[in-house]
Amino acid sequence: PAAVQALSHFPELKVILVGDQHQIAQQLSLLGYSADTRLSIVHSDRVISNSEKPSLALRHSAGSSMGMAIDLVAENQADACVSGGNTGALMALSRFRLKLLPGIDRPALVSALPTISGRKTWMLDLGANVSSDADSLFQFAVMGAALAEQHLQQAPRVAILNIGAEEIKGNDLVKRCAEMLTQTQAINFIGYIEGNQLLTDAADVIVCDGFVGNVCLKACEGTAQLFIDKLKKSLLASSIKGWIARKLFSELFTELKNLNPDQYNGASLLGLRGIVIKSHGSADVSA
């Protein structure tokens, strides 16, 4: 369904669906749709499960839908790969088949987060690497700054996520990375920011390791969804309280919907010689 909607919204888009051809064709037929010049199907009868270790996925990737999708990018038959599958496997296969850009040791997951000002903040790493060293964080900062600058057309403000804004705060990892960024004139490094500043437009690029980034992202998503669900319940109430809520908070509800994680599905793997997008495994059609 999502692929069909995307085709209707973007007339120049072409989609290649990789997976079980029979099941895909069956789902398309339910929508009155079939393969054509803009939508094709590449058959694969093997799926890499979410519980499969990246090392095993790499060894046994031949014939898998994820491996075949990445191969299409590597062979220039597709411009990008979008997958909602196993994150570790996706990173391992992408790194092995697409290779890394010069000077990059590890790819990083990056996504644009909404802020209260209406601007976007790019945050990385969001889970591609469970642990990182200072050199990797520095590389994440460089990649994130390059990405943000393309969108902003000016030098982005780069910050490191830390437990405090003071220079003495944090572990050796963030302190060492901060020292490296301070000595780099090419990066507009503004220091540390704390977790309560993630969505306040305090920085254009926020750098952290993948463990911290993934936890923060899911905490933000869960909090936003909680407020949306609570407010929706109040707006739909049939009592006088519901009527008052609809009058007072309808505009707020619209604003909160902009924080819905479904609106910002998809994180890019930066650092590769090709475009790979990691989608939320629980994403719905609107994402």
SS3 letters across 139-188 = HHHHHHHHHHHHHHCCCCCEEEECCCCCCCCCCHHHHHHHHHHHCCCCCC
**72, 9: one domain:** yes
Tell me if 232 is assigned to some domain: yes
Total domains, the chain? 2
Same domain, 115 and 28: no
Residues 194 and 231 in one domain: yes
Dihedral of alpha carbons 123, 124, 128, 129, sign: negative
pLDDT of residue 230: 76
Q: What CATH number is associated with residue 244?
A: 3.40.718.10
Domain hosting residue 138, numbered range: 110-264
pLDDT attached to residue 39? 92
User: What average pLDDT values come out for the chain (287 residues) when binned by 10 residues?
Assistant: 86 94 91 85 93 90 94 96 92 94 95 88 92 95 96 96 92 95 95 94 96 90 79 68 64 62 77 93 64
Calculate the alpha carbon distances from 168 to 171, 196, 205, 231 in Å: 9, 19, 21, 40
92 with 118, same domain? Answer: no
In a domain, 141, yes or no: yes
CA 143, CA 108: separation in Å to the nearest integer? 9
From residue 225, how far is each of 231, 232, 282 by CA, in Å? 10, 10, 13
Q: What is the pLDDT of residue 206?
A: 98
Residue 22, in any domain of the structure: yes
CA-to-CA distance for 207 and 142, rounded, in angstroms? 10
Name the residue with tokens 């079939």. 34
pLDDT, residue 272, reads 96
Check whether residue 34 and residue 128 sit in a common domain.
no
Give how far Cα 284 sits from Cα of 3, 32, 39, 73, Å: 12, 20, 20, 24
Is the N-terminal amide bond of 229 cis, ω within 30° of 0?
no
127 and 77 in a single domain? The answer is no
Q: How far apart are CA 265 and CA 284, in angstroms?
A: 9
Q: Cβ–Cβ contacts within 10 Å for residue 4, how many? A: 16
Q: CA 44, CA 255: separation in Å to the nearest integer? A: 41
pLDDT at 233: 73
If asked whether residues 84 and 202 sit together in one domain, one would say no
Say if 283 falls within a structural domain.
Answer: no
Residue 159: strand pairing partners: 191, 206
Asked if residue 218 belongs to a domain, the reply is yes
The H or E element containing residue 229 is helix 210-236
- Identify whether residues 172 and 254 lie together within a single domain: yes
Domain shared by 88 and 141, yes or no: no
Residue 275 domain flag: no
Q: Which residue has the tokens 């690497």?
A: 129
Task: Give 23's contacts (C-beta < 8 A, 6+ positions apart).
Answer: none
DSSP category for residue 271: T
* pLDDT in the model for residue 238: 63
User: For the CA atoms of the chain, what is the radius of gyration?
Assistant: 21
Mention every residue, 6+ apart, whose C-beta is less than 8 A from residue 166: 192
Residue 225 resides in a domain? yes
On whether both 122 and 226 belong to a single domain, the answer is: yes
Same domain, 59 and 86: yes
Tell whether 278 is covered by a domain: no
Domain closes at, from 98, 128, 150: 98
Same structural domain, 93 and 175: no
Backbone conformation region of residue 129, classed left if phi is above 0, alpha if psi is from -120 to 50, else beta: beta
